[in-house]
Amino acid sequence: MNIVHLAVNPLAGVPIKLANMINEHTEHTARVISVNGAYGLRTFDHDLLFDKSEKTIAQVNDLLTQADVIHVHNFFKDIQAKLKPVNLKRHLKRSRVCTQFHQVAELTSDELNIPIAEIARIVGTRILAIANQQALTYPTATVVPIVIPLQDEKHCMLPRKESEDDGIIRIVYAPSVTRLRGTPPLYQKYFDKGYGETRAILERIQATFGDRVKCNIIRGKPHRDCLHIKQRADIAIDEVKTGSYHTSTLETLSQGVVTIVNPERGVKNIVQRLTGSNTVPWQVANLDNLFSVLSALIEDATILRAQQQASRLWMEQYWNDEQWAPWFVKNVYSKL
């Protein structure tokens, strides 16, 4: 089976991770055609970037002609416009197609200017939604995981944390959104991840604990550099405001880093149903108690080390890409 992913943006590396998983752990072949490989300075791994050169156009047409499955990420109309002069509609008629949304249905409804109840009919393909807030909002969607390459060296847990040698607890925070100026109110509800409040709390932590901690706010760095920094951390804050987790949550958990996030109850239930686990691997906090949660972890090295080990072990047991690969083929691609 030949699978081709189509995306405008890198989407935090989700499409390329999914394609790499299929290539590594199944007999099938997956490729990713995308338009952008970065959000500004935040570059991500990619496969084939569409640059409108004759060579690239020919490559895209060849891949789509051979595709058994076309996996669309987000909006077909945006991808279609960006891939011109490729006749995407012609290729879609010959392949099985699914559409994976990386945002909640409320935003998709706004961008398509249709009621939420009409999304499935208008899209006209099987809909996939990640096991997060998205899955709560698309009633007919197949719930799928964000896959993480657990054995990739960038996603592994280091044998020993630097803090075990120098006693300095390292806290990392890599906000994806730091400015909301010009963002419509509807989108602010999901894009406002509490950057200002979280930064202020980290400043309080640094002032309170002094040389015992090192708080690192990562901004504008390539994804590979972010993973390198996070892998050496003890604690990672994803975000604790929107009620969601993100790809970065799973990345730091796989690295054996205690990861703080605040998913709503429905998200927790979805993750547990998908994995069969009666637990979740993250540390829960909100803006009101984040300072106290961080303080407790800094003060008790025994609990901190135990939670680091538990984070990695949970990922190995319940979120293993070797297991997700055949699951994805069986539950998604083979049923299109």
Give the residue ranges of DSSP H helices in 37-194.
54-66, 76-82, 88-92, 105-112, 119-123, 133-137, 163-166, 185-191
User: Per residue in 243-252, pLDDT tens?
Assistant: 999 999 999 9
Domains 2-149+321-335 and 153-318 belong to one CATH topology:
yes
- Find the mean pLDDT for residues 316-327: 98
Whether pLDDT at 178 is above 90? no
153-318 CATH: 3.40.50.2000
Give the residue ranges of DSSP H helices in 93-246.
105-112, 119-123, 133-137, 163-166, 185-191, 195-209, 223-231
187 or 331: which carries more pLDDT confidence? 331
Whether pLDDT at 171 is above 90? yes
- Find the mean pLDDT for residues 328-332: 97
48 or 178: which carries more pLDDT confidence? 48
- Find the mean pLDDT for residues 300-318: 97
* Domain spans of the chain, in order of start: 2-149+321-335, 153-318
Residue 11 has a pLDDT of: 95
Indicate the range of 3-7, 166-170, 176-180, 209-213 predicted with least confidence.
Answer: 176-180
Whether pLDDT at 177 is above 90? no
Give the residue ranges of DSSP H helices in the chain.
14-25, 54-66, 76-82, 88-92, 105-112, 119-123, 133-137, 163-166, 185-191, 195-209, 223-231, 247-254, 265-275, 290-299, 301-318, 321-331
User: Per residue in 239-272, pLDDT tens?
Assistant: 999 999 999 999 999 999 999 999 999 999 999 9
User: Per residue in 110-126, pLDDT tens?
Assistant: 988 999 999 999 998 99
**Is 82 within 8 Å of 73 (Cβ atoms)?**
no
- Find the mean pLDDT for residues 222-230: 96
pTM of the model: 0.95
Over the chain, what is the mean pLDDT?
A: 95
Residue 48 has a pLDDT of: 96
User: Per residue in 27-38, pLDDT tens?
Assistant: 999 999 999 998
Whether pLDDT at 53 is above 90? yes
Q: Which CATH number fits domain 2-149+321-335: 3.40.50.300, 3.40.50.2000, 3.40.80.10, 3.20.110.10?
A: 3.40.50.2000
Alpha-carbon dihedral 273, 277, 279, 280, rounded to 10 degrees: -70
